[in-house]
Amino acid sequence: MSNTDASIEEPVLVYDRISANRHTTGLLMAGFIILIGGIVWLILFLWGLSASVLPGVLRFVGLILIAYAIIASTRIVLSIAGAHEVTKKEEWEFVRRVENLSIGAGLPMPRTWVLEDSAPNAFATGTNPESSHIVVTRGLLEKLEPIELESVLAHELSHIGNYDTRVMTVVTVLVGAIALISDFALRATFWGAGKRPSNRGRNSGAAIVIVLVIMLVVAILAPIVAQVMRFSVSRRREYLADASGALLCRNPDALARALEKIAEDPEPLEAANKATAHLYIYNPLREHKSFFNGLFNTHPPTEERVRLLRAM
């Protein structure tokens, strides 16, 4: 977790950046799996349970994950609800550029939506490229030059092509699972403390205290670590979408300009919420500035994104 975003190396070639980003995201996902597995194993071990209950526990975790996935996707659908679908007839520049970029990326044409909000922003959603959506705000269409608009759309289309919505849904679900398991462990530790089997010898009192402390620390730290990892994945995916978007529209400079324009715009986006913030090209919520709070940002600092784009 020591890799703050400022410290990433800069492979010059866009291709290298993309593969580097993929690599890091893969490592983080593996970290999640290890974290969950570790917690479950620790609980089982500390309670003196055999591994034979593991399948049952995992099935339980699986059910939670599915429930979470449904909730997460419903929220995203709700956030589209404020937008209206547009065709080439109404929004020629917007729709035709999405068409062009889809041809360039070899992806099916996403459905195109406009959100009547003067804050410039855009997001993409859909669990697979075949049923994906690109939503832009009215402000984005009005405030950007056509070429900058195209670069933003390239960024969004890259989110679709990189399966970012799916990755982020999975990550959100894993974070939720960790929170739930920790909570469960915490409660169970308090309730179960009195009914420990006394087969641990004479010094079982000290052993119980140690077990309790370990459980407490793990149960409190795990959800925080999970959140930090989630935001780290989110920021990685932003860099990745910047890089592959720039590769697609062949104009990193336009994307850099667009990001600056969007960042300078003072208007808040009303439709955004925490569940969908990671989908937008630019964090619609407040950006935390300090290092520690920076760990909880969905997006990397704009200056850093612009710097990397200009270096391409």
Partner 1 sequence: MSAGVTFIIVVVAIIMVVGLLLVGAYNGLVRRRIRVREAWSGIDVQLKRRASLIPNLVETVNGYAAHEQEVLENVTQARAGLQQASGPTQSAQADNILTQALGHLFAVAEAYPGLKANENLLELQRELTDTEDKIAYARQFYNTNVSGYNQKLQTFPTVIIGNMFGFRPEEFYEAETREETEVSFS
Q: Closest distance between partner 1 and the C-beta of residue 143, in Å?
A: 13
Other beta carbons less than 10 A from residue 260's beta carbon: 16
Whole-angstrom Cα distance, residue 121 to residue 135? 9
- Closest C-alpha to 231, from 172, 281, 309: 172
Is residue 133 within 8 A of residue 276, CB to CB? The reply is: no
Active site residue 304: no
- Residue 89 in the binding site for partner 1 (CB under 8 A): no
Determine phi and psi for 296, rounding to 5 degrees: -105, 20
Q: Which is nearer to partner 1, 187 or 307 (CB)?
A: 307
Q: Which region among 159-167, 244-252, 259-267, 269-277 touches partner 1 (by CB under 8 A)?
A: 244-252
- Residue 260 in the binding site for partner 1 (CB under 8 A): no
Q: Which region among 36-44, 135-143, 207-215, 243-251 touches partner 1 (by CB under 8 A)?
A: 243-251
Q: Which is nearer to partner 1, 145 or 183 (CB)?
A: 145
- Residue 55 in the binding site for partner 1 (CB under 8 A): no
- Residue 100 in the binding site for partner 1 (CB under 8 A): yes
Find the catalytic residue in 145, 156, 270, 287.
156
In 12-150, DSSP assigns E strands to 83-85, 111-115, 122-125, 133-137
Whole-angstrom Cα distance, residue 158 to residue 68? 25
Among 16, 90, 116, 145, binds partner 1 (CB under 8 A): 145
- Residue 153 in the binding site for partner 1 (CB under 8 A): no
Site string for partner 1, 193-232 (x = CB under 8 A): ----------------------------------------
- Residue 257 in the binding site for partner 1 (CB under 8 A): yes
For residue 125, is it left (φ>0), alpha (ψ between -120 and 50) or beta?
beta
Q: Which region among 36-44, 58-66, 206-214, 249-257 touches partner 1 (by CB under 8 A)?
A: 249-257
CA 198 to chain centre: 45
- Closest C-alpha to 28, from 10, 2, 60, 9: 2
Determine phi and psi for 262, rounding to 5 degrees: -65, -40
- Residue 141 in the binding site for partner 1 (CB under 8 A): no
Whole-angstrom Cα distance, residue 5 to residue 294? 9
Q: Closest distance between partner 1 and the C-beta of residue 301, in Å?
A: 23
Whole-angstrom Cα distance, residue 162 to residue 30? 18
| Catalytic residue list | 156
Q: Can you give the binding site for partner 1, defined by CB under 8 A?
A: 92, 96-97, 99-101, 103-106, 145-147, 248, 250-251, 257
